[in-house]
Amino acid sequence: MDVSVKKGHWVDLEEVWKLIVRQGYRVRKERTHLIMRGMASKIGGSWQLSLKDVDAGRMIALASPAPRYRTKTEAQYPDPFAGLADDSEVELEATIAFKDKQLVLAPSRISPVENKR
């Protein structure tokens, strides 16, 4: 199922997952994939994605994807953070993961967003 969200809004994933269950489907949270844009920042030793256009601003931790979820193509590029500049605007494709009961994004692709002037 694909869900598109208006710019500046964030989907409450727990609510989406509950809706899917109510419709009689099985939810596999670890197979939730997102494509999003934001500012990538390195805070301490960890990368974060800041969604600046979202209502209250939102920071989401980025984590390396688990090898078992990578496709053969993704396995050729083991470090999606390679060449990523601090405080750069990016678009990423990521899978939902949970680390210490917190939602994190495990990116399979991170691309810089070209500024259009």
User: Shortest CA distance to 41 belongs to which of 87, 92, 73?
Assistant: 87
- Amino acid residing at 93: E
User: Rounded to two decimals, what is the model's pTM?
Assistant: 0.70
Residue type, 26: R
Q: What is the pLDDT of residue 76?
A: 57
Residue 5 domain-assigned?
Answer: no
How many domains in the chain? Answer: 1
Assign 83 to helix, strand or coil. Answer: coil
Residue 76 lies in a domain: yes
- Provide the residue range defining the domain that includes 86: 32-112
Q: 7 lies in a domain? A: no
Residue 13 in domain: no
- Would residue 65 count as lying in a domain? yes
pLDDT in tens, 90-103: 988 888 888 887 88
Higher pLDDT, 83 or 16: 16
- 10 assigned to some structural domain: no
79 in any annotated domain: yes
CATH number, domain of 47, equals 2.40.50.140
In a domain? residue 14:
no
Tokens of 17: 């997952």
